[in-house]
Amino acid sequence: MSAVLRSFFTSRSAAAFKPVRGGIATATVYPFPPLRSGAPLGLSPSFERDVLDGLTLRQKAIASTWLYDHRGSELFEQITQLDEYYPTRNETQILRACAHEIAAAAGPRALVIELGSGSSRKTRLLLGALDTPQAYLPIDISAQFLQESVAELPSLYAGLRVMPVVGDFTRIESLPELRLLRAAGGDAGRHVVFFPGSTIGNFTPEQAVALLRRIRRFAGADALLIVGADSTRDPAVLIPAYDDREGVTAEFNKNLLARINRELDADFDLDAFDHQARFDPLQQRVEMHLVSRHAQRVQVRGRSFHFEAGESIHTENSYKYSLARFQQLAARAGWTHLQRWVDGQARFAVHVLEVAARGDGREQNVKVA
């Protein structure tokens, strides 16, 4: 707790401290393949269409979602262990300190929905603190990685129903899984949407507002939303975090080209592109690019694309939000703060939000400790 600041907290009722449970192997994992393996959430996303369209833009760009095939998810896991990559470490520190207070706000029998669950490692801090969580619905775009990540959860949390959903959570409109759970009597507690890792930063502010609104709609009026957001502004910290000494982030970025080669019959020469991290102080975002070392042509699905020397493909945005700016963003989407937590270095924040009451979200008392 010492190194973590809670900037403000308005408790409904401070529920009793709950000890961490676990160790009994009675949880349920719903059978794989998950319900929507063939038809991911919402519209079926198309890698081919995104890549071909993206390579015809003046500033070539490919959505960062496509970085996360199985290999990309593994490489991202390696990034989270790097000295330079502080977000995972700082957020984990926050969650360790505040999980019990979040659990108190969530109450018993919570149903946890996680967006872009990846390794589900941070989720364990939350699940461990919650009072008899009923169900866990991790949503991730990499089916195999998702399956591997949730495999051991049943042995850790007694009575927890684990329902993995393969899909692109950005296209989520509704979660039929909630209806299934309700029918099975497994939806009695509060819906807790867990969105850690600063994944929100991968969207433009406009997209982020739209996503937070959509979350509000599918999660329901009583939902709690826990969002991790990076608030770092110092390029001397940011650039190494996205361009590490060992070159893991470079490999993560270039894996996109390897994936395009493999899945879309392309002939990218991985050695002819450099990984680059840029900070745009105006938009307050880190950008990842793949920069062509020389003029070249690349074939993708029978189409030919030209690169000038120095021309790049923009592969990721990672927006950084000051506390005030994130609060404005959340308010525009109809969410209001219940708690906000910041790490000791003041680099990262965990925002605990509730659905704003009517008229709320305009007038806010911000007290930053």
Binding site for ligand AVJ (CB under 6 A): 79, 87, 197-199, 201-202, 242, 249, 288, 316, 318
Cβ atoms of 274 and 293 within 8 Å: the answer is yes
Q: Which is nearer to ligand AVJ, 195 or 305 (CB)?
A: 195
Amino acid type, 59? Q
Report in angstroms how near the CB of residue 343 gets to ligand AVJ at its nearest. Answer: 15
Q: Which is nearer to ligand AVJ, 104 or 215 (CB)?
A: 215
Report in angstroms how near the CB of residue 251 gets to ligand AVJ at its nearest. Answer: 11
Q: Which is nearer to ligand AVJ, 187 or 251 (CB)?
A: 251
Cβ atoms of 356 and 339 within 8 Å: the answer is no
**CB-side exposure of 144: number of CA atoms within 13 Å?**
7
Report in angstroms how near the CB of residue 125 gets to ligand AVJ at its nearest. Answer: 17
- Please state, in angstroms and rounded to a whole number, the distance separating the CA atoms of residues 39 and 165: 10
- Please state, in angstroms and rounded to a whole number, the distance separating the CA atoms of residues 76 and 250: 11
Report in angstroms how near the CB of residue 118 gets to ligand AVJ at its nearest. Answer: 8
- The residues facing 312 across adjacent strands are 291
Q: Which is nearer to ligand AVJ, 64 or 292 (CB)?
A: 64
Q: Which is nearer to ligand AVJ, 120 or 198 (CB)?
A: 198
- Please state, in angstroms and rounded to a whole number, the distance separating the CA atoms of residues 240 and 220: 39
What's the helix, strand, coil split of the chain in %, to 5? 35, 25, 40
Q: Which is nearer to ligand AVJ, 134 or 317 (CB)?
A: 317
Q: Is the bond leading into 31 cis (omega within 30 degrees of zero)? A: no
- Please state, in angstroms and rounded to a whole number, the distance separating the CA atoms of residues 288 and 275: 7
Q: Which is nearer to ligand AVJ, 21 or 289 (CB)?
A: 289
Q: Map tokens 């190194």 to a residue.
A: 3
Look at residues 164, 93, 161 and name the one whose alpha carbon lies nearest to residue 127: 161
Q: Which residues contact 52 (CB under 8 A, 6 or more apart)?
A: 300, 301, 303
Q: Which is nearer to ligand AVJ, 54 or 201 (CB)?
A: 201
Q: Which residues contact 362 (CB under 8 A, 6 or more apart)?
A: 331
Look at residues 47, 77, 74 and name the one whose alpha carbon lies nearest to residue 63: 47
Report in angstroms how near the CB of residue 230 gets to ligand AVJ at its nearest. Answer: 7
Report in angstroms how near the CB of residue 264 gets to ligand AVJ at its nearest. Answer: 22
- Please state, in angstroms and rounded to a whole number, the distance separating the CA atoms of residues 257 and 270: 7
Report in angstroms how near the CB of residue 9 gets to ligand AVJ at its nearest. Answer: 26
Q: Which is nearer to ligand AVJ, 77 or 148 (CB)?
A: 77
Closest CB to ligand AVJ: residue number: 318
Report in angstroms how near the CB of residue 82 gets to ligand AVJ at its nearest. Answer: 9
Cβ atoms of 288 and 172 within 8 Å: the answer is no
- The residues facing 316 across adjacent strands are 288
In three-state secondary structure terms, 265 is coil
Report in angstroms how near the CB of residue 123 gets to ligand AVJ at its nearest. Answer: 14
Report in angstroms how near the CB of residue 149 gets to ligand AVJ at its nearest. Answer: 14
Q: Which is nearer to ligand AVJ, 131 or 316 (CB)?
A: 316
Q: In degrees, to the nearest 5, what angle opens at C-alpha 309 toward C-alphas 305 and 314?
A: 65
